[in-house]
Amino acid sequence: MQYSQNLKLNDFFSKLEKENYTIVKLSDNFPNYFNGDDLDIFCENIDSFSQKILTIGNKYIKKNNCEVRIRQKNDTHYHIDFIFDKKLDLRFDLYNKLPSYKNLKLKNNLFGTILKNKTKKQQDNYFIYVPSSNEEMILRYVEFLEWFDKRPDKIKHLNFILDNTSNPITKEKFLIELHNYIKPSSKKTEPILPIIFQKIKKIFKL
Amino acid sequence: MNDQNLKEKYCYFLIWGTGLQYSQQIINQIRNDDNFDILKIKYYEVKNIKKLVKQIYSQDYAPLKHLKGKTKYLLQSEPRVLIIFVLNKNHQEKIFGKKKEFKHIECKYIKQFKGKIRDQFNPPPINGKKSHEHIIHASDSEYQVDHLLKLIGYKDGIKYLDKKPNSILPTPHHTRPFKNFSIKKVDIDSLYCYLYKKENNSIHKEKIELVNTPHYKYLNKDKNDYLKYIDTFGGFTLTDDHFIENYEKLKENFLYLSEKKPLNYIIAEEFQLNNYMILDGVHRACLLKQQGAKTIIMVIIKD
């Protein structure tokens, strides 16, 4: 599969350094991406962040057969979709609050902590921001739990966690922080949790 | 109320019937002052001028009895006022008045501006004394703006001016709220707009192609239709600043989606497959057409 050649993500992120944001579950391919990919971004000011994306987007609308579709699903979650030749090329999936998950509830203060503890990642001549390693693992863990029964490809998140917790100290630190941010689950989710925890136990050899 | 920036406050200027002949000159001065953004220009037909004077000044700092003599001249004036609502970007709150009963807070800048207008257009001094037959009044507070808006029929009061139809894009307060939209290039010849028509004393809206609007004809040296249009509807059904002087100002060095205003898109909705009704930006679309543009980047509202 070939990377999309439509957007240069460097154009966007080199101008977003002043925003308080973090790209979660960042792909190793970044700044490359495939057609139809999405970028999950937590940001402090979702409107200001969107304005910057659209400002840069104007350049692409002017030159190419590009359309930008914006859906403000609610006050805390926006989609900004770049469409080329009527096909979704890239989605900026923006949040200024933790998304709600069905299978696991997280404490709301995790969102602020993720932004506070974000780390800089050097690109060519600018920085992007990503969550600290521990918080990145929490988000991937939640994502895996949310989708593992429907999307087999989400195993990649678990693999990421395993790769990053080979050191027992790191593993313990991650588990402590994870449990610190988990809220008791609702009745609806109860039946699924024992299965999940069994799987996790096995994987982590706990 | 406008809490975003303490230096920015909503305000109004009210031109009494005695000053209506100078209204264009006064609007020009307000428009040319960078401290003001004109939000709404509205004529208000007065059924009972005495009642209106009382209602306006009942919100004033000075006790009404002190104003009775001072406002007597207004009772003979034309029963129509022109109100210009603005965003004052240079709010300078200060306490004025020496005696206890006259002490009040108002914006120093508005007071100065109002004074300048009065010096120019109030009746000439008699025996060296300045006339107090003021042709213009201005609000001292946002509370007064709220009160006047409600008085002339905007039941939401100041909230009406404060409306933000979309949290990402700068859009005029009177656009309908929207959360789903796309930004794309649209064929300029697929653009339409609504035009007001007056027939048999009733006003209705008519769908018209951009090239057939008085706004477009104005740019092609056929100015009469636009002048007539603004003369008929300006300050009544058209309450944005659509006056000729503002159109001319827009025309000078017009650059759409410039570096300073990259998100000021023309806003439209698709009313028929590939045909679009402009909801905001008819003047800008006409200027682009006249500049030779074949397509325009614009916002298409989807909800």
Residue B180, chain A, CB below 8 Å: the answer is yes
Q: How confident is the model at residue B298 (pLDDT cuts 50, 70, 90)?
A: very high
Question: Which residues 6+ apart lie within 8 Å of B154 measured at CB?
Answer: B160
pLDDT over 60 (residue A191): no
What pLDDT score was predicted for residue B3? 47
Per-residue pLDDT tens over the stretch A38-60: 999 999 999 999 999 999 999 99
What pLDDT score was predicted for residue A190? 55
Higher pLDDT, A203 or B256: B256
Q: Do A54 and B167 touch (CB under 8 A)?
A: no
What residue of A is the nearest CA neighbor of B300? A69
- Transcribe A96-159 into DSSP letters: SSPPP-SS-EE-THHHHHHHHT-EEEE-SSSEEEE--HHHHHHHHHHHHHHHTTT-GGGHHHHH
- For chain A, what are the domain ranges? 1-97
What pLDDT score was predicted for residue A41? 98
State CA A120 to chain mean position distance: 16
Residue A68, chain B, CB below 8 Å: the answer is yes
pLDDT over 60 (residue B147): yes
Least Cα distance to B15 among B5, B29, B36, B2 occurs for B29
Residue B185, chain A, CB below 8 Å: the answer is yes
What pLDDT score was predicted for residue B212? 96
What residue of A is the nearest CA neighbor of B295? A62
pLDDT over 70 (residue A202): no
pLDDT over 90 (residue B158): yes
Could you report how far apart the first and last alpha carbons of chain B are, in Å?
27
Measured in angstroms, the CA of A83 and the nearest CA of chain B are apart by: 10
- Which range has highest mean pLDDT (A75-84, B68-77, B98-107)? A75-84
Q: How far is Cα B46 from Cα B48, in angstroms, rounded to an integer?
A: 6
Ramachandran area for residue B201 (φ above 0: left; ψ -120 to 50: alpha; else beta)? left
Q: Which of residues 169-188 of A touch B (CB under 8 A)?
A: none
Question: Which residues 6+ apart lie within 8 Å of B237 measured at CB?
Answer: B196, B203
And the tokens for B147? 């009160």
The answer to whether the Cα torsion of A12, B182, B215, B29 is positive or negative is negative
What residue of B is the nearest CA neighbor of A86? B184
Cβ contact B178:B168 at 8 Å: no
Measured in angstroms, the CA of B164 and the nearest CA of chain A are apart by: 13
Q: Do A51 and B181 touch (CB under 8 A)?
A: no
Q: Is the pTM of this model over 0.80?
A: yes
Per-residue pLDDT tens over the stretch B184-243: 999 999 999 999 998 888 999 999 999 999 999 999 989 999 999 999 999 988 999 999
State CA B94 to chain mean position distance: 26
